[in-house]
Amino acid sequence: MPISLLIFFAIVVGIPVAGGIATSAFQRWLRHKEKMTEMIADQTAERSAQYAQHVERIEARLRVVEQIVTDGGAQTAAQIEALRDRARIGGGETQQ
């Protein structure tokens, strides 16, 4: 078999087959990366929602503390007792 025929066969058959395999592998890798990106985005959104909820609870508690600190002495005792009563009724956590 002459070498020129082997070179011709490699060019006509080998390069397109190798290109097709490489393209297929690249497409699979790209799909994998897209799925990973979606999963990371979902996890980030979930964490963000959890943090926002946590911040809301902290802000609510801080508002109560600010109100207690800025009110007069007679009202302060009444509010502390009201908060204690809410804690007993609410199962240990203050609620507004």
Q: How would DSSP label each residue in 21-85?
A: HHHHHHHHHHHHHHHHHHHHHHHHHHHHHHHHHHHHHHHHHHHHHHHHHHS-HHHHHHHHHHHHH
For residue 95, what pLDDT is reported?
46
Task: Identify residue 94 by its one-letter amino acid code.
Answer: T
- pLDDT-wise least confident of 42-46, 53-57, 72-76, 90-94: 90-94
Grade residue 20 by pLDDT with cuts at 50, 70 and 90: very high
Question: H/E element holding 20?
Answer: helix 15-70
pTM, to two decimals:
0.50
- Retrieve residue 47's tokens: 């964490």
Query: What average pLDDT does range 14-22 have in this prediction?
Result: 92
d(Cα 61, Cα 90) in Å, to the nearest integer?
14
